[in-house]
Chain A
C-alpha cells in the first residue's frame, strides 16, 4: 500500500472553500423557498407570506394558498430532494459506481408494483392512499436486491446487477397488470410522473420519522463509507466493520428513497445527478458530499416543482418530469465537460 492511495480523498478542496460553497447553496435555498411561496397563479406579497406563517388567518385567501398549498408543496419537494440526494450519494459511495442510482436498487420498481396492485386489487384511486403500499413495495424490492446482492457482503457489481434484474422483473409485472385493466392504467399513468400536486401536511407528518431515521443512519454510515472507498482490504485494515457499514447504508437508502417514492412517486434522476454536482463542489469525502447532496437535492426539486407549475405545459408539468428534463442534459454536459469524478 503506497502512501498516495491512503491520502486520497480529503485534501482536494480546502474546508473554507467548501463552507463558502455550502453557505451560498443554503442562501440560494432560502431565496428559492421564498420565491416558491410567493409565486403562482395568485401572486402573494411578503406581508402575506409572513402573516400566513406566523399568524394564520383561515379566512384570508392568500393565507390559505400559502399555508395549505404552497408550504406543503415546498416542504415536500425540499425533503424529497434532500432524501434523494443523500441516498444517491450513499449508494454511489457504497457501490463505487458513479452510475448507481437509488432507482437501480429496485425501490422505484417495487413501489410502482405496489401501487398498481393497490389500484387493481383494492380499487384505490386516491394517491394519498398509495403511501403505505409504495413504501412496502419499495422496501420488499430493496430487501430482495440486498439479499441477492450478497447482503452485508454486497459487492458493487453484484448489487447493481441484482438491482437491474429485480427492477426489470417488477417493471414487467407492473406492465402486465396495467394491460389487464384500463382503469388501473388511467390512475397509474399520472402517478408515475412523480410530483407534489396536492400533497397533504398529514402525509408529510407520517413520513417524517422515516426521513429523519434515514438521515441519521446515513450520517452513521458515512463514517465507515469514507474508509470503504479506499477499498475493502484497506477499510478492514483500518478497523472498519465493512458488512455493518453496508447494512446501515442500505437501510438509510431504503428509508430515504422509499419515503420519497411514497410521497411523490418515482422521481428519476435526482439521486443520480445530485451527488455528481455535490462531489464537484465538495470533493469526494463522504460527509461533505452528503451535506452538499442534501442541499443541492432540495434546490433541484424545489426549482423543478416551481418551474413545472409556473412555466411549462401551461403550468401543468410534474416535478418528476422536470427533474428528468433538466437533469439529463446536465448529466450529459457534466460528462462532456469534466469527465466524471471517478470514485
Chain B
C-alpha cells in the first residue's frame, strides 16, 4: 500500500508499512526509555517521575532522575542513533553490509588514538579517541580515493587500516602496566557510565546540526543503494555525493565514539535491522537511527541491571546485536532473499 502526499508541486510517496513500522519503532523506543528511567537500584515509579519532573520529590529522587538517569539515557539514545545513522550511510552507499564504520577501521582508529593518548599523557582518552577516529577516517578516505570513492577500494583500505590499528592497540595494551591495561579494557569496549548533561548537549546538538544534511542526503541515498548506472542515469553526480555521504558518516561515527566509546556492533547491526523492518528501504535513515538508539539503550539498561560486576554497555551491544543479526540472517535465508 503506497500513500502519496501532495503539497502543490511537491509529491511524496510513502509506503504504509514503512510509516507504521516507523511509528511502532519510535513508540517501542519511547516505552523502553521510560522503563529504563524507572529501573535501577533505587526504583522510581512512573508517578514518582511525573512528580519529580514537575518539581516535587525528595532531593535524592531528583538527583537520581535528573542528574543520573536522564542524562545517561538521553546520551545512550543520541549516541546509538549516531551509530545507526553512520552505519546505514556507509552500508547503503557501498551496498555492502561489511562497510560499516566498525569494519572499515573507525572504531579501531578511535581505540588506538585513545591508547596512544593514554600512553603519552596518562589521560586525554577522549580527545585521543576523537583524533584517532578522524585521522583514520581521513587517511582511509584519501588512500581509497581515485577519481571518486569506489566501494571496494574504501572497504579494502579500511580493512587494512583496521588490522594495523587493532594490532597496534593490542601491542600498546601489552606494554602498559596491569592497572592501566585493566582501565583501558573497560573503556575500549564502550560504556555509558556517569554521563552528564554536557554529554547530552554535545550529542543531541551535533545531531540537530547534522539533521539538515541527513534529510537532504536521504533522497539520493536510496537511489545510490541501487546500481551505479541507475544512479548516474537519474542524473546524480556520484563522486561529490559519495564524498558528502562519507563526510557525514565520519562525523557521526566520531560523535558516537566520543560520547559512548567504541560500542561494538551498533553501527553494523542497526542498518540490517532497519532494512529488515522496512523492506523497500524508504526512510531507512530514520529506521536505522531508531534501531541504533534502541540497541544502545537496551544494552545500557542491561549493563545497569546486572548486579555486582558492572559490565560495560559494549558487552551487551554485541550480545544483543549478534543474535539479532543471526536471527535476521536466518529469516532472510528462509525467505530466499539472500
CA distance A336 to B189 in the complex (A): 32
**B312-328, CB < 8 A from A:** 312, 314-319, 321-323, 325-326
**Of A175, A185, A331, which contacts B159 at CB under 8 A?**
A331
| A42 at the binding interface (Cβ < 8 Å) | no
Establish whether residues B315 and A172, one from each chain, have CB atoms under 8 Å apart when the complex forms. Answer: yes
Task: Give per-residue flags for A225-237: 1 if the beta carbon is below 8 A from chain B beta carbons, else 0.
Answer: 0000000000000
Contact of A148 among B161, B173, B317, B329 (CB under 8 A): B329
B119 nearest CB across to chain A (Å) = 13
Are the C-beta atoms of B181 and A335 separated by less than 8 Å?
A: no
**Beta-carbon contact of B143 and A193 below 8 Å:** no
- Interface status of B47 (Cβ within 8 A of chain A): no
| Bound-state Cα–Cα, A99 to B163, Å | 12
User: Does any Cβ of A come within 8 Å of B19's Cβ?
Assistant: no
B1 within 8 A of A: no
**A162 and B159 contact, CB distance less than 8 A:** no
Asked whether any CB of chain A lies closer than 8 Å to the CB of B216, the reply is no
A313 to chain B, nearest CB (A): 8
A193 to B170 Cα, complex, angstroms: 6
Q: A325 an interface residue at 8 Å Cβ cutoff?
A: yes
Q: Answer yes or no: A164 CB below 8 A from chain B CBs.
A: yes
Knowing A189-B181, A268-B163 are in contact, say whether A175-B97 is a contact too (CB < 8 A).
no
Determine which of A148, A158, A179, A329 lies in contact with B185 in the assembled complex, contact meaning CB atoms within 8 Å: A179
Interface centre among A148, A161, A165 (most CB of B within 10 A): A165
> At the interface, is chain A mostly helix, strand, loop or mixed?
helix
Q: What residues of B have a CB within 8 angstroms of the CB of A176 in the complex?
A: 311, 315, 319
A184 CA to B255 CA, complexed, in Å:
32
Residues on B with C-beta less than 8 A from A168 are 264-265, 268, 318, 321-322, 325
| Cα of A179 to Cα of B317 in the assembled complex, Å | 15
Q: Are B315 and A165 in contact (CB under 8 A)?
A: no
Interface residues of A in 301-343 (CB under 8 A from B): 317-318, 320-321, 324-325, 327-329, 331-332, 335-336, 339-340
Chain B residues with Cβ under 8 A from A160's Cβ?
98
Residues in B with CB closer than 8 Å to A169 are 318-319, 322-323, 326
Stretch of B62-70, B77-85, B150-158 with 4 or more beta carbons under 8 angstroms from chain A:
B150-158
Are B309 and A321 touching (Cβ within 8 A)? no
Does A182 interact with chain B (Cβ within 8 Å)? yes
| Cα(A269)–Cα(B321), bound, Å | 25
A129 within 8 A of B: no
Q: Is the CB of A172 within 8 A of B318?
A: yes
Report whether over half of chain B's contact residues are helix, strand or loop; otherwise say mixed.
helix
Which residues of A lie under 8 Å from residue B323 when comparing CB positions?
Answer: 165, 169
Task: Annotate A203-247 by CB proximity to B: 1 below 8 A, 0 otherwise.
Answer: 000000000000000000000000000000000000000000000
Let me know if B209 is at the binding interface, CB within 8 A. no
Is the Cβ of A178 less than 8 Å from the Cβ of B185? yes
Q: Which of B157-214 contact A (CB under 8 A)?
A: 157, 159-161, 163-164, 166-168, 170-171, 173-174, 178, 181-182, 185-186, 189
Rounded to whole Å, the gap between the CB of A66 and the closest CB of chain B is 28
Is B42 positioned at the interface, with any CB of A under 8 Å from its CB? no
Name the one of A158, A268, A329, A336 contacting B166, with C-beta atoms under 8 angstroms: A268
Kindly identify which residue among B155, B164, B167, B322 contacts A165, using a CB–CB cutoff of 8 Å: B322
A190 vs B174: C-alpha distance in the bound complex, in angstroms? Answer: 6
Distance between Cα atoms of A189 and B323 in the complex (Å): 27
**Are B315 and A179 touching (Cβ within 8 A)?**
yes
Residue A150 contacts which of B157, B322, B333 (CB distance < 8 angstroms)?
A: B333
Residues of A within 8 A of B330 (CB): 148
B319 contacts A172, CB within 8 Å?
yes
CB distance from B338 to the nearest CB of A (A): 6
Q: Enumerate chain B residues within 8 angstroms of A320, measured Cβ to Cβ.
A: 167
- Most B CB contacts (10 A, CB to CB) among A166, A172, A178 go to A172
The contact of A185 among B171, B185, B326, by CB within 8 Å, is B185
Residues of B within 8 A of A325 (CB): 164, 167-168
The chain B residues found within 8 Å of chain A, CB to CB, are 97-98, 103, 143-144, 146, 152-153, 155-157, 159-161, 163-164, 166-168, 170-171, 173-174, 178, 181-182, 185-186, 189, 264-265, 268, 309, 311-312, 314-319, 321-323, 325-326, 329-330, 333, 338
Interface CB pairs A-B, < 8 A, 25:
A99-B98, A99-B155, A148-B326, A157-B338, A158-B333, A162-B326, A164-B268, A165-B323, A165-B325, A165-B329, A166-B322, A175-B314, A176-B311, A185-B178, A189-B181, A190-B174, A272-B163, A321-B170, A324-B167, A325-B167, A328-B163, A328-B167, A335-B156, A336-B146, A340-B156
Q: A179-B189, A332-B160, A335-B156 are in contact. List 7 more A-B contacts (CB 8 A).
A: A164-B325, A168-B268, A179-B312, A189-B181, A321-B170, A324-B163, A328-B160
